[in-house]
Amino acid sequence: MRRIVVGVVVLAVGIALAALGIFKAANPAEPLAFLAIPAGLVFVFGGALVLLPAKLQLPLAALMVTSLAAVFDWVAFGPGERHFTSSLGAGGARVTWTGGELAGRAFFGVFAVLMDIAAIGLWLRLVRGR
């Protein structure tokens, strides 16, 4: 029962986030609003992954990882200026600093490439399995 509740909540959050991105993407004052669409789809596919039968898990996982990869790809390689803030904390103490654009893009770029490889692997496994 708990699994169903979690799946429905995650699915609802994803639908709301993706819908927000769709509605706000047309507004030129919010040029990054479109990123809410793939971010929301990560939650939509994750919630559906929990709710739907096992034979649909691989396609849903491929869609979820692809959506997440799209977000990382845009942050790392998309046009425009980026601002990154880093922090490190332990025991109630925290140090925060602003990193350069190149360092932030490199960090996201590493994870973007890893997510792309994971997505391609899932899609290949899905295509070969049929």
The model carries a pTM of 0.84
C-alpha pair distances (Å), 126 with each of 24, 53, 121:
33, 16, 9
Query: For residue 116, which of 86, 71, 60, 85 has the smallest C-alpha distance?
Result: 71
* Digit-coded pLDDT (tens) for 81-126: 888 887 778 877 887 777 788 888 999 999 999 999 999 999 999 9
Q: φ, ψ for residue 86 (rounded to 5)? A: -120, 150
C-alpha pair distances (Å), 127 with each of 4, 41, 58, 89, 104:
29, 21, 10, 44, 34
In the prediction, which pLDDT does 68 show?
96
**Token reading at 125:** 């496994």
